[in-house]
A and B are shown apart, each in its own frame.
Chain A
Amino acid sequence: MDGVGHHLAFWSLAVITVGAALGILVSRNLIHAMVMLILSFIGVAGLYLLLSAEFIAVVQILVYVGAISVLMLFAILLTPRAARDNAETAMRYPGLILMGLVIAATVFVALETDWGAVREEPVAESARIIGQSLINEFVLPFEIAAVLLTAALVGAVALARRDDEDIDAHEQSLTLEGREDSGGSS
């Protein structure tokens, strides 16, 4: 990867990704932070393309940008009476120090370790290989993941749905209001 195009692509994607992440950090508005997060996701998808992981890039766009971000936006819209700001807690300064330490340590590690990087050419036909490993050596994790999604779904529904009694109470209050309205006309 030493063409001008690669350099240009990497550095611009890197700036977009990290810049957008910093945008989340400084943003005072939750919706703005959300937009920054989506931008960061797209930047990471571009980096996957640069790493010849086309399949992962597509999944990244579909799941992160398409599903997760929309879900989070819905959650923001469904909590209208909650504060919309994106302010920090008292953990602000400890958090900043920890962030500095973690970045310093991991960057040091990334540069100092001999990762034995040897593969010059990317693996061809990555989507086919991934698909095959999902039904060969990784078939059991694949099935566990299916169970996990079922459990998460069942649990999320059990938590988020209003129970019968709540609905009864809600309907009762509605009919009471209706009675008051009709009471005036009769």
Chain B
Amino acid sequence: MTIGLEHFLVLGALLFGVGLYVALAKRNAIGVLMGVELMLNAVNLTLVAFGRFVESEVALSTSVFVVFIIAVAAAEIAVGLALAMVVYRNRDTINVDRVNLLKW
């Protein structure tokens, strides 16, 4: 059996599912961000696999997409961690289930 597009897509699906669970169920804000990063990695893997195997008019527009997603992810982490630090400074915790002044 040849290693083809489906192999990478299934791998991406597994990674996305695990990331989804981690993002939804972990209580530490940094843990949630880890889950989001896993999901984004799954997206990137899927896109790169499509870029490698699917015929398209603009060559490698998927790779450009991936470069942008990586840049945005880095900014996302910077903003997310800044917010986590601010919450920590006021509350001494970054657990999303203990940060509950507002009804979640």
Contact = CB atoms under 8 A, between A and B. Distances in A.
Contact of A117 (B4, B13, B59, B81): B4
B3 A79 contact: no
Contact of B18 (A22, A53, A111): A22
Contacts of A88: 25-27
Interface residues of A, number: 89
A157 to B, nearest CB: 8
A110 interface: yes
B24 A98 contact: yes
A83 B91 CA distance: 12
A110 B79 contact: no
Given A64-B70, A134-B64, A71 B77 contact: yes
A85 B13 contact: no
A68 B68 contact: no
Contact of A79 (B38, B71, B84): B84
B10 to A, nearest CB: 5
B78 A129 contact: no
Interface string A45-59: 001101111011001
Contact of B21 (A1, A95, A116): A95
A76 B48 contact: no
Interface string A64-94: 1001100110111011011101111111101
Given A17-B11, A40-B38, A89 B26 contact: yes
Contact of A160 (B10, B54, B74, B85): B85
Majority-rule SS of B interface residues: helix
A25 B34 CA distance: 10
B25 A92 contact: yes
Contacts of A98: 20-21, 24
B75 A148 contact: yes
A7 B12 CA distance: 17
A155 interface: yes
Given A51-B8, A55-B63, A130-B67, A37 B37 contact: yes
Given A68-B37, A95-B20, A118-B54, 12 more contacts: A2-B1, A10-B3, A21-B19, A51-B49, A52-B52, A60-B70, A78-B85, A86-B28, A89-B26, A110-B6, A115-B50, A119-B53
Interface of A: 1-2, 6-7, 10, 14, 17-18, 21-22, 24-25, 30, 33-34, 37, 40-41, 44, 47-48, 50-53, 55-56, 59-60, 63-64, 67-68, 71-72, 74-76, 78-79, 81-83, 85-92, 94-96, 98-100, 102-103, 106-107, 109-111, 115-119, 122-123, 126, 129-130, 133-134, 137-138, 141, 145, 148-149, 152-153, 155-157, 159-160
A-B pairs, top 3 by smallest CB distance, nearest first, are A110-B9, A106-B13, A103-B17
